[in-house]
Amino acid sequence: MKKIISTIALSILLFSCKQENKNVKTEETKKLEAEKIVYKKIIENEKLEEFTVSVFQGKNELEGKVELKKDGIEKPFTYIFKDVPYLDLSKAESAGLIVDFEDFNFDGEKEIVIYGDNGLYIYDRKTGKEKNLFKAINISKTSKGTKNYIFTFRGEYVKDEKEKTITITGASSAASGTEELYKVLENKEMKLVKESRWDYWNGIN
């Protein structure tokens, strides 16, 4: 009799555990579904060079994604972005305001440039993968650093075709900022040859 009662109690306990785990998974699934962004297509199949580009708006007018399609690739190159500088996606009339093409390592082939997050991201034109040319930049506290990113918030970059250099200047305020000088070596590698920082508030110049 005791053995039967013990078996019943164990069965009830196992069933309760299974139901609890099922409920936890259900809640996690609901949370993920609630956080899933629904994108609205803003621009469809605009021709930019050899690519056909579509732009989608996310949860608000500054968040979205862009898809680049071309003959010879199975899936489109898809990039998520947010905080496009000075651009309301809901009023964007051309994908060219978000997508651009420029040769950053002076090898004769332009890279894909996506504007967003107060700067621009650089991707390989053939593979669609990140083109890690620069020093890693921590975009947020949780970020491990991004090497295909140029911080352009209140800053700029300048290319010198003759010297094969790129100067990246970024200012976080009127009194502080950074400047990085990259030079392309013979093997097309980008080398950081000069780095400076100024902060007049703290006496750094």
pLDDT tens digits, 148-162: 988 776 558 899 999
193 pLDDT higher than 60: yes
Average pLDDT, the chain: 80
Q: What is the mean pLDDT of residues 129-145?
A: 76
Task: Note whether residue 94 is domain-resident.
Answer: yes
**CA atoms of 177 and 200, how far apart (whole Å):** 9
pLDDT tens digits, 93-117: 999 999 999 999 999 999 999 988 7
Task: Note whether residue 169 is domain-resident.
Answer: yes
DSSP character string of 75-114? S-EEEEE---TT--GGG---GGGTEEEE-SSSSS-PEEEE
What per-residue confidence (pLDDT) applies to 172?
Answer: 61
DSSP character string of 159-201? EETTTTEEEEEEEEETTEEEEEEEEE-TTS-EEEEEEEEEEGG
Task: Note whether residue 9 is domain-resident.
Answer: no
Higher pLDDT, 185 or 16: 185
Domain membership of residue 65 as a residue range: 40-202
CB 39 within 8 A of CB 58: yes
144 pLDDT higher than 80: no
**CA atoms of 86 and 62, how far apart (whole Å):** 9
CB 101 within 8 A of CB 49: yes
CB 68 within 8 A of CB 51: yes
Beta bridge partner(s), residue 54: 67
Task: Note whether residue 29 is domain-resident.
Answer: no
Task: Note whether residue 136 is domain-resident.
Answer: yes
Tokens 């003759």 map to which residue?
162
Give the tokens for residue 135.
Answer: 């020093």
Task: Note whether residue 21 is domain-resident.
Answer: no
177 pLDDT higher than 80: no
Q: What percent of the chain has pLDDT over 70?
A: 72
Task: Note whether residue 120 is domain-resident.
Answer: yes
**CA atoms of 204 and 169, how far apart (whole Å):** 16
Task: Note whether residue 27 is domain-resident.
Answer: no
How many domains does the structure of the chain reveal?
A: 1
